[in-house]
Structure 1
Amino acid sequence: MRLYEILGFVTDWVSRLVVTTLLWALFTCAGGIVLGFMPSTTAMFAVMHKWEQGNSEASMVRTFAATFKKKFIKSNEVGFLLVVPSLLAGLNFYYCLRHPSPIAYLILSSTFAITLILCVLLVYIFPVMSHFEQSPVQQIVLALVFGLRHPFRSLGVMLVIASYVLFMRGLLSFLLLSLLSLFVTRMVSPCFVSTRTS
């Protein structure tokens, strides 16, 4: 591949990621931030899913807007179901660390296990919502099934996400969500293909 072809390829992908990031920010604000986060992130993964299928010519704005509208209620229901246990886990950590005792350490161990499950869910829930049409509870269960069925893949994705968040700076920080959504989509999509063909 020649230099100008490489530059064209890089420029094309950077521009796509920038536009997707701006769309995410715009629609998140349009949804009032709190109610806009889940449908905007789901819409971002829907765009990545189109790219993963080789449909790079599909309109990003049209796909994003259509998914945002279609998934607005259902994605926020999923978000609520995930936020509640996340807050409880956070309160448990805070209480146990402030009041150490044998019982507190037992609670801390179980809370750590719950937190790990929540992290697995966060890896898979957005790709699941952009791939499948089910109720919020069914989508959460399906995301958990995929995550537990592929433990090494799940662990690898979580480690890469943690490393990216901790160490990336500059333009890569601006493209945080779009890059991570592209990476996660490419990592977990084979799980969905194997399920559909089984």
Structure 2
Amino acid sequence: MSGPGLVVDGRFGRFYRLLDWPLRLVGLNLLWLAGVLAGGVVAGFSPATVALFALLRAYLRGGSPRAWHDFWLHWRAEFCRSQLRLGVPLLTLWVFLFYLLAARGTPVALAVAVPAVVYLAALIYVPAVLAHFDVPATVAWRIAALAAWRAPLWTLGLGSALAVLVMAMVYALPVAIPFFLPSAPAALVTLVAARVFGTFPTSTHSPHR
């Protein structure tokens, strides 16, 4: 503890910074909901999600972003291009879901389920890629697929943890949904993605500052 501003260092400092996260995630979740609604839900989903991941990346890197200002800055910057970079992959996921439902109870369902799972493993990383790298849509998708392929155990663990976290909120603590979904899962994805991206060659792509 030092200085007139009561700065806490060491293990206690890390503990107090950890305590900031629940309130921070609540604030980010409410911003995400506002961003989704501001875009008429369908058009607002992608820019709000990219803005959420951009702020999470800034926080995890030790920054102090101005949550309200920076969220809407990212939201406006991403409103158009995120429809392609994130919206198209999400629409493709609905195509897989449609065919899975149409083929349920038949051998075709397994043939659809396997590529759907592989696709979902890569899709998990897409918002984090868009927050981390300033790249076109096709490059972002390729980086997401590369991340899933380079770190299969991390990806498997991440997918399992996300499923448990979401199911726990839905079935055990639904009151937490408006405050921590999707901000808490997004924080987990951002944390794992930063570790996976750190294994990429430094010359591969230029990250955002």
Instruction: Tell whether the structures are fold-level matches, with TM greater than 0.5.
Output: yes
Query: Does 2:61 match 1:32?
Result: no
Query: Does 2:148 match 1:140?
Result: no
Q: Distance in 1 between matches of 2:88 and 2:153?
A: 26
How many angstroms does 1:139 deviate by?
0.8
Aligned residue pairs: how many? 189
Correspondence 1:8-157 to 2 at 5 A: 9=17, 11-55=19-63, 57-97=64-104, 100=106, 105=107, 107-157=108-158
Q: Distance in 1 between matches of 2:87 and 2:183?
A: 23
Higher percent of residues as helix: 1
How many angstroms does 1:66 deviate by?
1.4
Unaligned runs of 5+ in 2: 1-10, 204-209
Q: Distance in 1 between matches of 2:158 and 2:21?
A: 21
* Residue type at the aligned position of 2:122: L
How many angstroms does 1:80 deviate by?
3.6
Q: What TM-score, normalized to structure 1?
A: 0.85
Query: Does 2:194 match 1:185?
Result: no
How many angstroms does 1:126 deviate by?
0.6
How many angstroms does 1:97 deviate by?
2.1
Tell me: CA distance 1:11–1:197, structure 2 relative to 1, closer, same or farther (3 Å).
same
Q: Distance in 2 between matches of 1:71 and 1:135?
A: 12
Q: Distance in 2 between matches of 1:165 and 1:111?
A: 24
* Residue type at the aligned position of 2:185: L
Unaligned runs of 5+ in 1: none
Contact 1:43 1:65 in 2 (8 A): yes
* Residue type at the aligned position of 2:50: T
How many angstroms does 1:183 deviate by?
1.1
How many angstroms does 1:79 deviate by?
3.3
Counterpart secondary structure, 1:36: helix
Q: Distance in 2 between matches of 1:48 and 1:41?
A: 11
Q: What TM-score, normalized to structure 2?
A: 0.81
Contact 2:122 2:147 in 1 (8 A): no
Q: What RMSD in Å do the two structures reach over aligned CA positions?
A: 2.2
Tell me: CA distance 1:52–1:112, structure 2 relative to 1, closer, same or farther (3 Å).
same
Q: Distance in 2 between matches of 1:90 and 1:170?
A: 24
Q: Which residue of 2 aligns with 1:176?
A: 181
Tell me: CA distance 1:194–1:97, structure 2 relative to 1, closer, same or farther (3 Å).
closer
Q: Distance in 2 between matches of 1:84 and 1:13?
A: 31
Please, which moves more after superposition, 85-94 or 40-49?
85-94
